[in-house]
Amino acid sequence: MDQDLRRVIFETFSEVFETMFFTFLEPLEEAPGKEDLGQGRFVEAAISYSGGCNGRFLFYFPWELGKNITVNFLGVDEDGVQEGQVKDTAAETANMAIGGLLGKLDPGGNASLAIPQARVLAGFSPETLLGESGLCMFNTEFGILWVVGAHA
Amino acid sequence: MAFNILVADDSETMRAVIKKTVSMSGVPVGEFHEACNGKEALAILAETWIDVILSDINMPEMGGMELLKKVSEDEDLRKIPLIFITTEASDARKEEAQRFGVAGYVKKPFQPETIKAILYEVLEKAYAHRLEEKPGEEAAEESDF
C-alpha cells in the first residue's frame, strides 16, 4: 500500500473517529513489541466495494476500543453496552470509514459498497496480521485499531 | 405541530443515534418509526402517517435509492420529504438522488448541527405553517381559558 493511500486512509478514518466517537487516532509506523499487541477479545468488521474500483478492508477493534466507541456513539452507560451494539457500531464504523474513503478514491461514484459484517473473535492475536502488505495500525486511548486493506 | 419521522437504516445503532440527534435538535417529534431497509420503510409508509423520511442508501434487500424512486413514483408518498443520511457522498450519487427529488443530503460522519440545519430547512420548505405554530398553541385554542 503506497504512502498517499495510507495518508488518505488516516485522514478519512480520523474524521470518522473524531466526529462520531470523540476518539483520536495516531498512526503507528511500526508494530509494537509482542507484549503490547493486545491479544484477546476483538471485534472484526469487514467491508468490500466493487465497480469502478475494487477493495476489501478488515477492521480489528480490541474489545475495549469497540466498547468505548459504542459508549460514545450511543451515549449509553459503559455497563449497559451489549455485544450486539458493539458489533453494530464496528460495522457502521467500517461503513463510514470506507464510504468516506471511496468518496475520495472514486469521486465518480462508480463503485458500490457492500453491506458491512461484524463478528466477535475470542482469543484473537493481531500477530497474525503482521506482514500483511495492506496493514495500517492506529493507536488509540483504548488499544490499537488494526486495519488490513486492499484497493485496486 | 409535531412531526412523525421514519428512520430507515440497517444499523440499529445508527437509527438510535439519528433518533437521539433529532430529539435533541428541538424539532417537535410526534412518533419515530424505524425500518431496516427500503422494503420495511414502504410497508410503514403504506400504513402510517409520516411527515419526513431520514434514510441511509446502503441497505440490504432494498436500498435508499430504490426507496426514493418508489416514493417519487407514488402520488401520495412523493409529498413526503426524504433526506439521505449516508456515507455515499459522491457527486454522481447526489445527482442521481436529486433527479428523484431528494429533499436533503447529509454525509456520514455528521455533526448533530448538520442534521438539525438540514431537517429544519426541509421542514420549513414542506410544512412552514406547522413550524410557525408555537408550542401549546393548539391546546390554547381548544382551551376555554
Q: Is A106 touching B (CB cutoff 8 A)?
A: yes
The verdict on a CB contact (< 8 Å) between B14 and A92 is yes
Residue of B58, B65, B95, B113 for testing the chain A interface, max A β-carbons within 10 Å: B58
Task: Spell out which chain B residues touch chain A, with contact meaning CB-CB distance below 8 angstroms.
Answer: 10-14, 16-17, 20, 58-60, 86-93, 107-111
**Looking at the predicted structure, is the pLDDT value of residue B143 above 70?**
no
The verdict on a CB contact (< 8 Å) between A15 and B108 is no
ipTM: 0.85
Identity (one letter) of the amino acid at A62? P
pLDDT-above-70 percentage for chain A? 100
Q: Is A113 touching B (CB cutoff 8 A)?
A: yes
In this structure, of A32-36, A64-68, B141-145, the range with the lowest mean pLDDT score is B141-145
pLDDT at B139: 39
Give the model confidence (pLDDT) of A7-58 as tens digits. 999 999 999 999 999 999 999 988 888 777 878 999 999 999 998 889 999 9
Residue of B59, B88, B93, B96 for testing the chain A interface, max A β-carbons within 10 Å: B88
pLDDT at B144: 36
Residue of A11, A115, A117 for testing the chain B interface, max B β-carbons within 10 Å: A115
A115: left (phi over 0), alpha (psi -120 to 50) or beta: beta
Whole-number Å distance between alpha carbons of A63 and B118: 35
Residue of B10, B59, B109 lying closest to A96 (CB–CB) = B109
What average pLDDT does this structure show over B86-113? 90
B76 alpha carbon, distance to own chain's centre: 16
The verdict on a CB contact (< 8 Å) between B109 and A15 is yes
**Looking at the predicted structure, is the pLDDT value of residue A106 above 90?**
no
Band (pLDDT 50/70/90 cuts) for residue B140 is: very low
Nearest to A20 by CA among A97, A108, A120, A109: A97
pLDDT at A75: 87
Q: What are phi and psi of B38, to 5 degrees?
A: -65, -35
Tell me the torsion sign for CA atoms A80, A81, A84, A88. positive
Q: Which residues of A25-54 are buried (b: 16+ CB within 10 A; e: fewer)?
A: beeeeebeeeeebbeebbbbbbbbbeebee
Residues from chain B contacting residue A115 (CB–CB below 8 Å): 10, 58-60
The verdict on a CB contact (< 8 Å) between B91 and A107 is yes
In this structure, of A18-32, A122-136, B103-117, B118-132, the range with the lowest mean pLDDT score is B118-132
Q: All 3 cell numbers of residue B18?
A: 439519528
pTM for this predicted structure? 0.88
Whole-number Å distance between alpha carbons of B5 and B1: 13
Whole-number Å distance between alpha carbons of A97 and A5: 13
B124 to chain A nearest CA, in Å? 27
Grid cell 441511509 in the structure block, residue: B56
Omega cis (within 30) before B109:
yes
**Looking at the predicted structure, is the pLDDT value of residue B69 above 90?**
yes
pLDDT at A111: 87
- Facing residues of A70 across strands? none
- Facing residues of A137 across strands? A28, A146
Look at residue B75 and give its three-state secondary structure: coil
Residues from chain B contacting residue A85 (CB–CB below 8 Å): 12-13
Q: How many CB pairs under 8 A join A and B?
A: 74
Query: Could you tell me which residue, B140 or A92, shows the higher pLDDT?
Result: A92
**Looking at the predicted structure, is the pLDDT value of residue B27 above 70?**
yes
Please report which helix (H) or strand (E) contains residue A29, including its range: none
DSSP 8-state symbol, B51: S
